[in-house]
Structure 1
Amino acid sequence: MSNRQRNEQRRDEKQRDRQIYYFATLKQIAETLNKTADLRETVESTLPLVVELLSLHTGWLFLLDEDHKFYVATHHNLPPAMAFPGPPWCDACTCQRLALEGELHTAAQVVECSRLHSAPGDRQDLTYHASISLIENDQLMGILNVATSQWDLFTPQDLHILTAVGYQFATAIKRTQLAEQTTRIALVEERNRLAREVHDTLAQELAGIALQLEAADVLLETAPERARGRIQQALARTRESLLEARRSVLDLRSGPLERQALPQVLVELLERFTSETGVQTTYEVLFDGPRLPASYEQALYRITQEGLANVRQHAKASKVTVTLQRTDHHICLHMEDDGRGFESDTTLAHPTGQHTTQGFGLISMQERAYMLGGSIRVSSCSGSGTHIDVRIPL
């Protein structure tokens, strides 16, 4: 083998080793970026790795906030002149301007750092840095800056590898942001669920307890035994309310639905309503087939509870009719009373999920139906009672 051939072989081997090293570097960076869904932890653990694996000196990461303004998300091994926080970080810089103008959108570029140029103190011979725009689906998410005292050591291949690192950063940042957004949405949904449960269980049970105690107060002197009976009923409802509160927090089936199916539970609910209010109830079941899923039974049970609570508090009705019907494709609940009614003819829940009425009770009914893809229509006229129609697809 000639000297020329040996030199070419060594050069090829060196190039191959460098490519293997680059691929190993990208793999290690990708693994670090995907270890957690926490944005701060992700960038803080990955930036030092990038600086170390690429034999650089320092680095810092800008991200865009909701107002489209850059902020320092993390940094590593900054020179004394660039201590963060500090004066060098107060104003915008060249790389930010280039990124916003779209001049960094294609690849990593070596940029003279305006912060380093104007910073007093020990800059550790740093003047230039490589800037990589972090782009995900054509959306600018931030800038990754890395620096070394010998800027001319950034080869075209180094810039290519930094561009690949930038894509990895952007994808990981977007993933963590989506995860955080999902968490926020889940928290809001859980808060709304608990609000519905508190309203549909505790608030209504407390109203029933208050009614029993008011009756006991009236009977206390003239009929103490009857008053005692009312107090015992109030105590029983208090215990039931405590159990329901615990079930609501744990998102369990309502207590009655654990023992039997919805049609039978509604019978008990209406009988108790009549005993407490004196309002006559009629119940019809047009229902065949297997038991409904727990989520359907829970929603229809709570909607019926809320409808009866509205009758108790507002309608001044003498009669309530409830019909539960199951068809091939829908489960339908119809409630009507002969109370004083109100001016309304409103579809409370529809495919857009928009709220079209005021009052948490009606909104709670709407949300329960909407979560199952259903709708509620409230029809009422002053002096002519109220009709509530619930329709949920199976």
Structure 2
Amino acid sequence: MGKDQFSYQIFFERVFNPIALYHVEGDVRSVLSADRIFYVDVNPAYERVMRVRKRDIVGHNFLDVWPRSEACWPRIIVDCIRLGHTVHCEGESRDAGSYLEAIAFPLPRRRAAVIFMDKTDWKLSSDALKDKQEELRALAAQLTLSEENTRRAIAADIHDRIGYELVAQLKTLRRLMEDDLAPSVRREIERLAAAAERLISQSRSLIFELSPPVLKEVGLNPALEALAKSLLEPQGIEWSLRSRGTIGEFNADDAICIILYRMTRELMLNAIKHSGASRVTIIVNRGPGRIMVAVEDDGHGFDPAFSLEDAALARAAKGFGLFSIRERLQAIGGSVRIVSVPGEGATVAMSCPLKLREGEFK
């Protein structure tokens, strides 16, 4: 045994990861079945992880040893020889009872070496992390709905308690103004009436900002029009709304409309604060099973990948609202798509189901 062979054998025997050597019979370009792949050697780690004995598998074909194997494991053996470079795959292995990652390396004379790595713990951690992310997304969406319920309760309280009282006082003051009053008293009553009118107007504006009644009473489109009028017009930004599909044809859940309304408001505020836009277009498209709301502006534009893929950087760039929108939409089966080129404006399109899944956010 040469020195190189001896070094190889030590590495092969002592490495912690399972390694198997295979030989493929016939022309690799036409090999389609695992019964043409034969075991040449395996290391002790392979015996331990795969729960087999070397003497029982060397010389046997892959299909005899693993008749129920997933297709990816024999495929990478053939592919690495055929292509002449390493081939990778990962997935659940029923036979090993583990989540494995495998890298196949081509060797001379239609042989291949495959090294396996047990990634079960990593997969469990990854799945747990995804579950937690889903929980956080659901909580974010639930927070939006809970916030809206609170807003509606406060708005209703202001309307029922303060609004009615102010209207009653204004009627009383106007009735008093019909009496024969001294000039100084009339001026004071007129001042009080004007103050009551201002308070009524301010309370109505506050009610709209808290929770626009039109959203619940009339629907999403009129609510977005009212929102654009209150937010964009005072900033000198022109706006328009285009829509396709009607509420009668494709009616969305109240919770869906609330989330889309709040997210659209966030996009309008972003356009006001950061885009430098002179015009904003709101697009509402309803179709079978889904609703889409897009906000399009003619402002500075931005790099959409930067704003969404890195939350920390997006926050620093004052784009964290886009990340938050994506997370909340994903929680209800929705998505957000951004089309933007720096200097050429931006379009942010939000899409989600018309209906929440049964039992979701109830």
TM-score (norm 2): 0.39
More contact order relative to length (CA 8 Å, sep ≥ 6): 2
TM-score (norm 1): 0.36
